[in-house]
Amino acid sequence: MMLECSEPSNQTSSDFPYFFTEDGQLCHRDTMKPYQFLFKLNDVHGTVREHLTLCHCITQHVCSLLENKLKLVKVHLDKRTQSDDYSLGFVYMSPGALNHNGTLMVLIQDKGTVRCGVWSWRAVAHEGLDRGSQIPYVRCALEESCAVLLMNPNEGGLSPEEHVCLVWERFVSKSAAERITVVAHGYGGLAFVHLLCHQLEEICQRMWVVALIDSSHNLWHQPLGAAGRDWLKAHSRTWILSTKPTNRPVGSLKAGCRTMSAGTQCHETAPAVCMEAVFRFFAKVMRPKAVPAAFGIITRSRSFRRSNLSREAGGTNDRNNNTL
């Protein structure tokens, strides 16, 4: 069931009978049992209200962790009035992200009800923050001295494609980053390829590498062009749902780049399962290439000539010694 989470229900978070434990699991306050999806046929509206509250609770908790634990900053894209009514939504960034001259990591989630900092609210509810939120990616990026920017394509009245283009124009393209990495999940991959179609020249100059996780992009339907397809092939990798172990090669015609197994058949938890492989891929691509050391290659002919010269030199010395 697809739920819209733009407006919280009348039930407040304090009334919601679930809470997050220290290790990021959602448990019932009284029974300590994990959250359970319950659909009441005799009270459909009540079920919808409960799940709207769930979504609102998860969103609030994740935002709180992003701001208070990871010290990210909420940056609004546009203000409609002098009040707090923002028309175009917001993104999260690490402090000084746009002035950071190292690596800037950009995260783009799937289309639907998920909000900033969340890959899947269902995965958060059933499997915890480490499996359904973007917090592990943010934490790992910050530990590696990267700046981070979390897009928010499902809020603000723009389509995901429009949101990604606007964030690129307002922030990413103006950043001081020497290297830009992107992790895009589901429809986020399609939105990124849409950006690539319109900003190919600038992206070719600025961006190094892109990880596409169970992406919805399709090179047959998006007008990327030959140059764009070549760039995507050289600078990206995609992980698709598969029964194979994580990061094993998998054939795919639509991806346009090297395709790997996500190690799971669950779309919603794929980013969590692939995270280690994604960071290894980024490290490999951005690792400075070693300059080959100069050395001479001794061939058989060169070795033969050296032996002859040595024997000749030795014979000359012997003759000189006999003369003396």
pLDDT in tens, 246-292: 999 997 666 678 999 999 999 999 999 999 999 999 999 887 665 55
CA 83 to centroid of chain Cα atoms: 33
Distance CA 155, CA 159 (A): 9
Looking at 3.40.440.10, 3.40.50.300, 3.30.420.40, 3.40.50.1820, the CATH number of the domain 69-286 comes to 3.40.50.1820
The predicted model gives 172-179 an average pLDDT of 95
Residue 199, Cβ neighbours under 10 Å: how many? 19
Which structure tokens are listed for 167?
């964030």
Confidence of residue 212 (pLDDT cuts 50, 70, 90): very high
Distance CA 202, CA 174 (A): 11
Residue 9's pLDDT is 42
pLDDT in tens, 129-170: 999 999 999 999 999 999 999 999 999 889 999 999 999 999
The percent of residues above 90 in pLDDT, for the chain, comes to 61
- Amino acid of residue 3: L
Give yes or no for a contact between 273 and 243, defined as CB atoms under 8 angstroms apart: no
Residue 300's pLDDT is 52
From residue 203, alpha-carbon distances to 46, 97, 218, 235 in Å are 47, 18, 19, 11
Give yes or no for a contact between 263 and 273, defined as CB atoms under 8 angstroms apart: yes
Distance CA 191, CA 134 (A): 18
Confidence of residue 2 (pLDDT cuts 50, 70, 90): very low
Which structure tokens are listed for 149?
């920017």
Residue 156 sits at the vertex; the CA angle it makes with 150 and 158, to the nearest 5 degrees, is: 95
More confident position, 19 or 136: 136
From residue 109, alpha-carbon distances to 12, 189, 301 in Å are 26, 8, 62
What are the structural domain ranges in the chain?
69-286
Residue 304, Cβ neighbours under 10 Å: how many? 10
Predicted model pTM: 0.83
Query: Which contacts (CB < 8 Å, 24+ apart) does range 284-293 have?
Result: 285/208, 285/209, 285/235, 286/103, 286/179, 286/181, 286/208, 286/209
